[in-house]
Each structure stands twice: as C-alpha cells, then as structure tokens.
Structure 1
Amino acid sequence: MPADLAVIGLGHLGLPLAQAAVAAGIDTIGYDESGRARDLAIGRIPDGGTEGTLTAADVRRMLSKGFRPTADPAELGRVRTAVICAPTPLGADSSLDLGQVADAARALAARLRPHTTVILESPAYPGATEEFLRPLLEEGSGLRAGRDFHLAYSPSRLDPGNRLHGYHHTPKVIGGLTPACTESAAAFYGRLTDKVVRARGPREAETVQLLETNYRHVNIALVNEMAVLCHDLGVDLWDVIRCAETKPYGFQAFRPGPGVGGHGIPLDPEHLPHPTRTPGHPLRMVGLAREINNRMPGYVIQRAAALLNEHGKSARGARVMLLGVTYKPDIADQEGSPAQEIATRLMEMGAAVSYHDPYVPHWRVLGHPVPRADSLYEAAAGADLTILLQHHRTYDLQGLAVKAQLLLDTRGATPAGAAHRL
C-alpha cells in the first residue's frame, strides 16, 4: 500500500518523527531492519529502546491511526517522502560512524522512484549529504539528485521530555541540494511544524546542528569549571546562577552536573573526514569542553569520597545509592549517562552500589546487575551516601534529604542547605 512518508530508523529520532507525522494525518510507514519494527508492530517498546518519552500506549495509538512498522525494504518503493533517521554514534577514532546511514541509503536506493523527496535527519558532518549520501542514492537507483529526486538535510531538534517545545512548536531548518529540493522538503515539514527555516544549502543545515550541539557542550563545560572553582572558594554557584540569569541580555543560564549524556555529540573538525577538515584550525574550545565535561564523573567520585571521609567512613565497603541513572529527567534513555562511569569507579573503589530510577527497572554495570532499591526512603536511610545524578519529577527531594544519612546533589535541585551540592 502506498504511503506519504517512510521513516527509516525507528530509534530516538525516527519514532518521534513518525508520531508527529501520524498525528498530522500523514500516512506513515516506519522501516527498521532490526527487530524493532516487529516489536513496535505489536505495540511494544523494544528492549533497550531510546524512544525518549514515547510509551507503549503512544505506539498503540499510532498503530490505531495507521502507522505501519516494517522490516520489508520493498515498502520503501511506494512512498513520496523518505526521512533517514539512522543513528550515527562516535567511532573508535572519535569520528561519526555513518555505517547505519549507508545501510539505510542502500535499502532506499534500490527502490527509489523519480520525484521522491529524500531527507537526512541523522547527525552528520558538513558535506555528508552531498559527499556521502548522494553517491549512494544515485549509484543504487540510477537517478540523479536534484533532477530526478529531491535531496535535503534537516537537523533534528528533538528535546525528549520537554513539554514546552514539542515537534509542532520547534522551527525546522531545511537545506536542499537545489532550491526545488529545499521547497519540497519545506512543504513536507510545513505539515508538522509552525515554522520552517530555509538554509542556503545542505552544508549550512548540517553545520547548524554542529553549532547547536557544540554551543551546549561548551557552555556546560564553563559552568562545570565554575562548579569546581566555586566549591574551592566556598561560593554557592547555584545562587550565582540564580542571580545571573536575571540579566535580560547577553546571558543564558546553563547548569553543572555529573557529566554530559544524550545523543548530541560534540564534534571537532579534527575528527571530520579529510575533504571536510580544516587542517590547523580545530575548534579548540570544543575539544577542551569535551575534556572538561569528561572529567566530571571523576570529580563526583572525588567529592563523594571526601564526604564519606569527613563523616569517618571509607569508600571501600560504603553503601552508596545512585538516584536517577538516565541522561535526562523523566525519560528512560540512558545514552551517554555519566551514571555508568560513576558506578564503575565506585565499585572499583570497593563500594557497594545500588540505584533507584522510576524509569529503569533493570540496570547493569560491568556486566553485572546492580541492586535496585524498592523503597526509596528506606534505602536512603540505610545508605552511607546517596548521590542524586538525575532529578526526576517523582523525587521528593526535601523528604529525601531528611531521610538520607548523607546526600550529594549533583543537580542543584535540593532546597538550600538540605544537601551537599556539587
């Protein structure tokens, strides 16, 4: 059966896009060659899923409105628009691994029809749409991009768990290979969002995501350094931020934490493919920001050990409970969460680690299951140290601060004076 849209890759990017499309009345199929399509077809979130805030009930509603998950690539030959949302994790050399994008492109190219609009949403380096994706589509289909089919890039701006800025209310940036490509992609996204922003081309659109992601990491690194400095000076950083954010211009508040997680990966030109590199001109601030942010789990361990020592206890043999092991509040996604490294370091120091997270029923570290606390208050009362890593809305931090023997708050979420803040 023909469809208006094929979403290729049903993970943290693809499934929310499919949800928005279905809600807008767009006839949508979702293609994923893994077992995810099978699970979604029966209304189940795949194990280890990274779908943000989508629940099984959300998926069942999508199915009831005509959403069709499939692992059959033949379905890709009967759509008007195809959006590639395959993951692009960092490879061993710190460059983006576009292997799954290539697989998606080959599956689509073998069935690509004239006049189809193809859009890449996966994180990619500037030039990837033209230099990497375009040849795969043209060689596999015998068609020419910009003449026989439309090709464009649109950076994803999903913010899982954000209740104010959903898909409909977040402007969508579009950069097409030709003006006609841009307009075709804009016509599609105009059905999903209030505002479409046209970039000059795909390279500009790709670089938008590069800038937005690096902006976040650089500013988080700044406040992470400020957290360490303010602790050494005996200054309440959280009060500093509260006051600073009243400035109506020139300042945007960022807050420190135990590390930086999520799917938005800071990218330095040093790790771009050779034709796109700028030799001798790396984004030094990005590399430094990554270094600073990667140090934060170790700093949390340092602070934890110092707190235990101040209360006459050693990290070895201490009972330590971690609260919130996801990378963002109120979602189940653990991608890049600093909780893994913090738990690993604690275990290596000889601590007995447990955890609590309403969104994570099972958690493994170093290949072994970590005990999950059933009764939060009882577990906090029995732990030598409780560390808040993620502030889920369900946590009553004031009550928790009363029950916990010792509480280290890495998010600045507890009432002033109720816990030791990062």
Structure 2
Amino acid sequence: MANQLEQAIKDKTAIIGIIGLGYVGLPLIDAFVNSGFKTMGFDVDQNKVDQLQAGKSYIQHIPSKTVSDWLEKKQFESTTDLSRMSEADALLICVPTPLTTSRDPDLAYVENTAKAIAESLRPGQLVVLESTTYPTTTRDVLLPILDAKGLKIGEDYYLAYSPEREDPGNPDFSAAGIPKVVGGMEENSLRIAAALYEHAVVNVIPVSSPEVAEACKILENTYRAVNIAMVNELKTLFDRMGIDVWEVIDAAKTKPFGFQAFYPGPGLGGHCIPIDPFYLSWLARKEGLTTRFIELAGEVNTRMPRYVIDRLAEFLNQQGKPLKGSKICMLGVAYKKDVDDPRESPSFHLLDLLLERGVDFTYNDPHIPSLPKMRHHNVPAMESQELTPEFLAAQDCVLIATDHSAYDYDFIVKHSGMILDTRNATKNVTEGREKIYKA
C-alpha cells in the first residue's frame, strides 16, 4: 500500500482531499492545484460549496478568478457529501478548534471529521491533521477513531500531523511559501506525508512524532502571545508616565540583535494566538502542573479591550461628554489589517463593552461590509458606514481598532472631532494631531 501511494504522489495522480474550506483549506488547495494535483474540497456548509462550484470565492486573498481557474483546469470540485472522502488518496483536515466557554479545547469538529473519515476509510489513504491543537491530539483522539475501522496504521493507512501556518493578508508568504513541519505516527506515515507536502510547499521539516509537530505550533503562537502581552502591559505603564510606547519600540528595534519588535493593540485576534496558549495551560492542568507565565499573558491580553474603553471614557470626559449616548464609529472589525477575517477579533469585545455602556455605535470596515454573527458575541445587524466628511464630523469619537491600509488617515483626522487610535495608525498624520488620543 505504501509503495502504491508514494508512486501516485510522485506521479501526481493522487487526489488530495481538503476538509474544511476556510482560511486554511482554500490556500492549501491553491498550493496543491498549482503543483499539478487534482483536489477535492469537503465542507458541511452548503453555501460555501455552492459558491465554490460557481467559481466564487468568499475569502479575500483567494480571488474568485483563482477558484474559476481551478474549475476550468478540472483540478478541483467541492462537496458536502462526506462519503466521497474515499475517493481521495490524502485527506488533510483543516477544521476549527475553538475553546469552550470555560476555555477548554473544543475538539468536536476534529472528532466529527475523524468519525466521518472512519466511515469510508480505505486501504492506501493518508490522513493529516492540520488544525491547531494541543500535543497528543493526533495520537489520543484521531488514532483510536480511525483504528476502529479495523485497518492497521502504517500498513493499511497512514496518519500524520502538520500544523497550518497561514498568515492571511501577508503578501510575502502564501501557503506554498511557508515551510511545513510534519510529524508521522510511524515511519511510513512520516515518509509519505513529507513526500506529499514536498510537492506543494517550499520546504518540509520532518520531526520525530506528531507530538513534536503539535507542540511546535503551540510554541510559535504562545511565543507571540506572551511577547504581545509584555508590550501591552508596558503600554499601560508608559501611558501613565506620558511615554509613547510606539516610539519606545521603534527606538528599541534599531538594535540589530537580541530584540524582536512586538506591538500593543486593543486585544488579540485571529484563530490561533488568542486560543493556542489556553490549549497549553489546559494540558498542563491535566498533567498536574501550572503555566503561570502563559496564564498571566492571557490575563493581560484579555483585559486590553476594557482598558481601551476606559481610556475612551476618560478622553470623552475631558471634553465634558459622557460615554453613554456618545456617537462612536469604530474603524475596522477584522482581527488585523487588510484582511476580511473577523475570527476572535478584539473589535467584537470592544463592541460588547460599548453597547453595554449605551453608546450610539456605528462601524466601517472596507473588507467586511456587514457585521457577521459571532459565537460568543451578541452582534447587531449592521452595515459598514461610508466615511463622508459629514458622517465623520457627526461622531463624538472615531475609534481606530484595525489599521487597514485602505484608510486615508489624513482625511479621517481632518473631518473628525476626536480620534482614539489603538494601533498607531495616525503616526504620519501631521495636521490635527491635537484631536488624536492613543489607547
């Protein structure tokens, strides 16, 4: 079985199935299509499948023309029929791994996907989990479900873990341009998974086990979360001292060694960085240990939205205005600049706090024309407002939550009465700086 699958991968006759057609799955399809493979996309969302089958993309950095090209080349089709997963030679799992309300890992999507794969698992298939998760998930969660089929790992089918490393909106690194860490359940699984990815990505880094690959992704994102927490905490201190933390960071990063710049903000966003450290702290509790450093970083980052709203209230108060009833327009609800991805965006925490305090809320985001429904937020139905001079002038404050490049910050400052800038987006604005406050 191993020789047949390896030959099919080498000849590019192997069919690649991607389960989960979101911000990870679609770029991965693009990488394999560009490498000459036929791909199949699986998702439980019929609307997504219908759009893709019509040649339309719902993700900004994967243009509709790209999807149309996949279809024209007959290298892609998508379906909600999970029984067709038997048609694929390799199945790559790219489903969400959120947290529960008690901040425990929620592996329901992974488990349900594994059960669906097991229903049609056949000899000669490779299964790879790409969803970010805690170490031991592949071995302790996926393997028992797949083994229940009666096939033998390493002989009949193959299982590996290779963490996604997508960075939506980063023009310098597409899925194909990011090195891929791969850990197999045993030697054949590792060899076959590495051989597959070698066709689609710039470099493959084999590691000794799935646990190492799983821990690698957790380390990458915990590293970022901890360092962002540090600058967020320094920001609150330096604000009180009247020191501009952004200028401090710009000065520090001139050091050519031993320092990497991280930046403060209104909170953490995206599917990985706000979530992954809690996987690790949950795992530590299972092992009878505590991760105080990581948990403290989580506390610092999660309190940043409240800090921003407190600063907003303070600055409005200085102008004799209460927060309640004030007209507040928030710029940006995506979790970072120049993307259409709202997952875990701190803007929704800001929205919750603003609505609790009775503000007259509006928003603008050139990448998100209407507010999406969110799992943990009561989001009102609302459309992005056009930033006309009259609209800006009517606001008591414009709150910059996401620093999209599309914004004309000179124009925004000129026509607004007050700006609260959480991203240092207005750093190059020269006129009207007396109207700008930082938080």
Query: How many angstroms apart in 1 are the aligned matches of 2:317 and 2:206?
Result: 57
- Cα distance, 1:52–1:148 mapped onto 2, change above 3 Å: farther
Moved more, 151-160 or 362-371: 362-371
Q: Among 328, 340, 347, which residue is 1:339 paired with?
A: 347
The correspondence of residues 343-382 of structure 1 with structure 2, limited to 5 A, is 343-363=351-371, 366-370=378-382, 372-382=384-394
Runs of at least 5 residues in structure 1 that lack an aligned partner in the other structure: none
SS at match of 2:177: coil
Query: Equivalent residue for 2:407?
Result: 395
| TM-superposed deviation, 1:52 | 5.9
| Cα deviations by residue, 1:394-418 (Å, 9 ceiling, x for unpaired) | 1111222222110111001212673
| Cα deviations by residue, 1:172-223 (Å, 9 ceiling, x for unpaired) | 0000111221111111111111111111110000000111111111111111
State whether structure 2 residue 333 is matched by structure 1 residue 325: yes
The correspondence of residues 77-88 of structure 1 with structure 2, limited to 5 A, is 77-88=86-97
Query: Equivalent residue for 1:23?
Result: 34
Letter in 1 for 2:359: A
Query: Equivalent residue for 1:101?
Result: 110
| Cα deviations by residue, 1:336-362 (Å, 9 ceiling, x for unpaired) | 111112122222222111111111111
Tell me if the contact between 2:56 and 2:64 (Cα under 8 Å) persists in the aligned partners. yes
| TM-superposed deviation, 1:142 | 1.5
| TM-superposed deviation, 1:75 | 2.0
SS at match of 1:316: coil
Query: Equivalent residue for 1:297?
Result: 305
Give the root-mean-square deviation of aligned CA atoms.
Answer: 1.8
Letter in 2 for 1:337: S
| TM-superposed deviation, 1:379 | 2.2
The correspondence of residues 43-58 of structure 1 with structure 2, limited to 5 A, is 43-45=55-57, 51=59, 53-58=61-66
Query: Equivalent residue for 1:7?
Result: 18
| TM-superposed deviation, 1:383 | 0.7
Query: How many angstroms apart in 2 are the aligned matches of 1:358 and 1:86?
Result: 27
Letter in 2 for 1:306: E
Q: TM-score if structure 2 supplies the norm length? A: 0.90
- Cα distance, 1:327–1:177 mapped onto 2, change above 3 Å: same
Query: Equivalent residue for 1:173?
Result: 181
| Cα deviations by residue, 1:251-288 (Å, 9 ceiling, x for unpaired) | 110100001011001334442398xx321x22211111
Q: Percent identity?
A: 38
Tell me if the contact between 1:52 and 1:331 (Cα under 8 Å) persists in the aligned partners. yes
Letter in 1 for 2:299: E
Q: Among 264, 267, 271, which residue is 2:282 paired with?
A: 271
The correspondence of residues 131-210 of structure 1 with structure 2, limited to 5 A, is 131-139=140-148, 141-210=149-218
Runs of at least 5 residues in structure 2 that lack an aligned partner in the other structure: 1-12
Tell me if the contact between 1:93 and 1:271 (Cα under 8 Å) persists in the aligned partners. no
| Cα deviations by residue, 1:200-251 (Å, 9 ceiling, x for unpaired) | 1100000001111111111111111111111001011111100111111111
SS at match of 1:383: coil
Count residues in correspondence: 413
| TM-superposed deviation, 1:45 | 4.2
SS at match of 2:176: coil
SS at match of 1:369: coil
State whether structure 2 residue 91 is matched by structure 1 residue 118: no
